[in-house]
Structure 1
Amino acid sequence: MASYTKIKANNKQGYKWICTLEGPPDPLTGKRKQIPRRGDTQKEAFARAQAVYDQLSRGINAKKNKSLLFEDVAEEWFRVYSKGKVKKRSIITRGVEIKNLNKHFAKRKISTITHRNFQECLYQLFEQGYSFNTISGFKTTANMIFKYAIKNKYILDNPTTDSIIPVKMLTVAEIENKDQLVEEKYLENPTDILYIRSTFLQECNNL
């Protein structure tokens, strides 16, 4: 059950609300802890307190995990991944992909990386000229890192979920040129030409 306290504040309305919830019991001591959070409205204060409650109830220690950087979690995951039944080439590839991901997120606290942040990363990789397959590899590695973080209760959500890999849109001129090249390729193939001729002569004989 939530309780509310009205306090003075230097905002337009001159006051704020503190919402206090009873947190879930500590898994070690069994004791409950109060969760106070403030907001401009009771609704806002409750939402903030509830978010903390949800984290604690799922075993997420927000205070402890607040300082975890992406590069630290990525390194931790890579150590585990490297010791599994994977090919040496896959290990090398994942290592390269982590280096690229670190260019975007290394010093970011992993709990603050959002879906929007990750989608922007994919856009930037696309603009830098990386191929679809290469970007797909980056996304796969990031997905495994964030899944590892969720499994170890470092974060709640996976920011790679539903992210989209950009693709190059062909212009009308490029499409027409591509069709022309395909047409020329088949017409220049001697085997295809002989087949077309034999089919034509056969049809003429059947007339």
Structure 2
Amino acid sequence: MYCEEIKTKSGQKRWMCVEDGPRDPATGKRKQIRRRGKSKGEAKKRVEAAIRSLEEDMFDENMGKKVPFEAAAKHWLEIYTLTGVKRSTIRIREKEIKILNRFIAKTPIAKITHAQYQKLISTIAPKFARTTVQGVNTTAGMIFRQAIKDRLIKHNPSEDVVIPKKAGLWKK
């Protein structure tokens, strides 16, 4: 492991450590893991944690930070189309993706939290029918599950989301 003291753009002193991680399974090329910290020990711990995560889970958190939601959704839709579902179903899913893209298109998929996603659902609930909101949630869940399979994220932010009911419709 190689560690050195560096200066940030703001002039603060930080430590950066570099170590070889597991080789890329597809290309066989070496992959260097770089992490920074306020102290040498903190930087070392971050490098070791990243390497452990790559070795155990084959999960690279930096990939999820680079892939925007809209790209993950497009990738999922391509795969979903291959499953043989009807064209009308695909058209509905495309509309639901458009609704999601209005809010989180450019957000990296790894940075979407459960709280942020719940807020999105709560925001669109008054504007659309409840079945549309449920469809949007279902589509997002499928996109997030595909992202987990692609090892872009570890957890599905759409799990346990509450779909709000329309207020005042059933009051006596």
Q: TM-score range by the shorter chain?
A: 0.7 to 0.9
Alpha-carbon distance in structure 1 between the residues aligned to 2:154 and 2:137: 18
Alpha-carbon distance in structure 1 between the residues aligned to 2:113 and 2:41: 23
Question: Alpha-carbon deviations, 1:155-196, whole Å to 9, x = none?
Answer: 3322212222223455xxx87x62xxxxxxxxxxxxxxxxxx
- What residue is the counterpart of 2:132 in the other structure? 134
Residues 160 and 48 of structure 1: is their aligned pair in 2 closer, same or farther, counting only changes over 3 Å? farther
Question: Alpha-carbon deviations, 1:125-152, whole Å to 9, x = none?
Answer: 12x4323322111110001011111112
The residue type equivalent to 1:152 in the other structure is D
Q: Report deviation, 1:100.
A: 0.4
Report 1:168-207 matches (<5 A). Answer: 168=166, 178=172
- Of 42, 49, 52 in structure 1, the residue corresponding to residue 50 of structure 2 is 52
- What residue is the counterpart of 1:73 in the other structure? 72
| TM-score normalised per structure 1 | 0.63
- Of stretches 96-105 and 158-167 in structure 1, the one that deviates more from structure 2 is 158-167
Question: Alpha-carbon deviations, 1:40-69, whole Å to 9, x = none?
Answer: 356754563355225422333445554322
Relative contact order, higher structure (CA 8 A, sep 6+): 2
Aligned length: 169
Report 1:43-122 matches (<5 A). Answer: 44-45=42-43, 48-57=46-55, 58-64=57-63, 66-122=65-121
> What is the CA RMSD across the aligned residues, in angstroms?
3.4
- What residue is the counterpart of 1:149 in the other structure? 147
Q: Percent identity?
A: 38
Does 1:165 find its partner at 2:163? yes
Structure with the higher helix share, 1 or 2: 1
Unaligned runs of 5+ in 1: 179-207
Unaligned runs of 5+ in 2: none
